[in-house]
């Protein structure tokens, strides 16, 4: 049996990964996260809650593990990183450095680094293949810069010390949120719209029509990451993991509100949001649309979840969470 450390395992994608690993008798799972893990995870996994930026904690989390899936990152999506750019870069540099060093010291068999589509924020080719990264200008956002730094650290650790790594980039991840934190802009948009619709309030979105995303359900992303973890063909490779529908923020917003049974005409979008102007100034096009042929060919992976069905399931999960919260409040 292989013991897998999942850093950041209490988040939306991490939770989907842990469920998939626990369903496979070949894996034993340890989760490292400072956030509160759900009961089923506390019962089924070994838990570590230390600060992974500290080498002693990173070593403790990794000890005895043959595989690592590294999802942990600075809190919040790209908006939070823009508000605290130095903090984001400082945090993730320490985090990735400590976890990669611990993986080297414990001689893990596979290190899967979960990066971000933000490394392609200044892409010029769409759909964007993995090899475009060598031609793409470096990201200007602190979150994109930090995730690219994590990729480079894996490559450098392999070149100097032989770290057996794989890089996975989940595009537009969404699903039933497991914490109050949102790990991607798409997840934040979907969850925010659903919460507004269920509350019967108007939603003002700081996103323009020039921005796009490729919504991909967390279960599909988890399937790709676990396939990469166990595949010899994935060694020293990078994979884009994304679905096939590129949508503008307005198009996605309408689908979400329709899934809630809400009136899309109540939705308010800001066409000229500050981040749109920033993106234009920095040379970023605002599109996020991956090519995924490499994952299909080497891993046999394709996203399976229909978007409308995935959104409906996410709405139902948040509706149930809202009902439980209201019942708890009334009981108190």
Express each pLDDT in 164-221 by its tens digit. Answer: 999 999 999 999 988 888 888 899 889 988 988 888 877 666 555 778 999 999 999 9
Q: What is the pLDDT of residue 3?
A: 98
Q: Does any domain span residue 197? A: no
Residue closest to 273 by CA, chosen among 204, 191, 323, 200: 204
Residue 271 in any domain: the answer is no
CA-wise closest residue to 66 among 10, 27, 96, 38? 27
pLDDT surpasses 80 at 276:
no
pLDDT digits (tens, 9 = 90+) for 137-168: 999 999 999 999 999 999 999 999 999 999 99
For strand 212-213 and strand 247-248, is the pairing parallel, antiparallel, or unpaired?
Answer: antiparallel
Residue 22 in any domain: the answer is yes
Q: How far is CA 163 from the centre of its chain?
A: 23
**Domain for residue 327, yes or no?**
no
Contact between residue 118 and residue 240 where contact means Cβ atoms under 8 Å apart: no
19 domain residue, yes or no: yes
What is the tally of structural domains in the chain?
1
Q: For the segment 66-86, what is each residue's pLDDT rounded down to a tens digit? A: 999 999 999 865 667 888 999
- Decide if 191 contacts 268 (C-beta within 8 A): no
Residue corresponding to tokens 């290190």: 111
Could you tell me which of 79, 75, 229, 245 has the C-alpha nearest to residue 172? 245
* Closest among 297, 280, 263, 73 to 187, alpha carbons compared: 73
pLDDT greater at residue 33 or residue 188: 33
Residue 263 lies in a domain: no
Largest distance between two CA atoms of the chain: 59
Q: Supply the range of the domain harboring residue 153.
A: 2-174+217-243+289-305
CA distances from 17 to 46, 102, 162, 217 (A): 15, 21, 26, 12
CA atoms of 125 and 180, how far apart (whole Å): 34
| Across 48-69, average pLDDT | 98
Give the CB-side neighbour count of residue 172, counting CA atoms within 13 A.
25
Chain centroid to CA 160: how far? 28
Reply yes or no on whether the pLDDT at 249 is more than 90.
Answer: no
Contacts of 81 (CB under 8 A, 6+ apart): 74, 88, 141, 142, 143, 146
Q: What is the pLDDT of residue 8?
A: 97
pLDDT (mean) for 236-243: 98
Q: Which two tokens stand for residue 7?
A: 């850093």
List the CATH number of the domain containing 163: 3.40.50.720
Q: Is residue 248 part of a domain?
A: no
Mean pLDDT of the chain: 91
C-alpha–C-alpha distance, residues 165 and 106, integer Å: 14
User: Would you state the pLDDT for residue 72?
Assistant: 97
User: What pLDDT is stored for residue 282 in this prediction?
Assistant: 45
pTM to 2 decimals?
0.94
Tell me the pLDDT band of 305, cut-offs 50, 70 and 90: very high
| pLDDT value, residue 190 | 92
Specify if 68 maps to a domain: yes
Q: Is the pLDDT of residue 269 over 60?
A: no
pLDDT of residue 280: 40
3-state DSSP percent of the chain in helix, strand and coil, to 5: 50, 15, 35
Q: In the chain, pLDDT over 70 holds for what percent of residues?
A: 90
């Amino acid at each position: 049996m292989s013991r897998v450390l999942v850093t950041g395992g209490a988040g939306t994608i991490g939770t989907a990964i842990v469920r998939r690993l626990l369903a496979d008798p070949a894996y034993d799972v340890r989760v490292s996260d400072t956030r509160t893990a759900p009961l089923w995870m506390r019962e089924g996994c070994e838990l570590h809650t230390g600060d992974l930026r500290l080498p002693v904690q990173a070593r403790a989390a990794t000890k005895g593990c043959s595989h690592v899936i590294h999802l942990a990152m600075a809190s919040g999506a790209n908006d939070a990183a823009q508000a605290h750019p130095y903090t984001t870069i400082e945090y993730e540099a320490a985090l990735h450095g400590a976890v990669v060093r611990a993986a080297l010291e414990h001689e893990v068999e596979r290190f899967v680094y979960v990066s971000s589509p933000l490394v392609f924020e200044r892409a010029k080719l769409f759909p964007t293949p993995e090899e475009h990264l060598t031609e793409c200008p470096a990201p200007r956002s602190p979150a994109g810069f930090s995730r690219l730094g994590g990729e480079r650290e894996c490559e450098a650790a392999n070149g100097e010390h032989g770290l057996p790594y794989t890089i996975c980039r989940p595009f537009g991840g969404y699903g039933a949120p497991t914490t109050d934190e949102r790990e991607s802009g798409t997840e934040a948009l979907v969850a925010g719209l659903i919460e507004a619709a269920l509350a019967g309030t108007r939603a003002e979105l700081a996103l323009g029509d020039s921005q796009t995303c490729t919504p991909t359900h967390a279960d599909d992303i988890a399937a790709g990451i676990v396939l990469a973890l166990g595949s010899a063909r994935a060694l020293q490779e990078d994979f884009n993991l994304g679905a096939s529908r590129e949508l503008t923020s307005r198009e996605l917003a309408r689908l979400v509100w329709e899934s809630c049974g809400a009136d899309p005409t109540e939705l308010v979008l800001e066409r000229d949001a500050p981040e749109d102007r920033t993106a234009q100034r920095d040379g970023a096009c605002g599109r996020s649309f991956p090519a995924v042929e490499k994952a299909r060919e080497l891993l046999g992976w394709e996203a399976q979840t229909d978007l409308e069905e995935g959104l409906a399931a996410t709405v139902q999960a948040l509706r149930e969470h809202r009902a439980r919260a209201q019942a708890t409040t009334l009981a108190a």
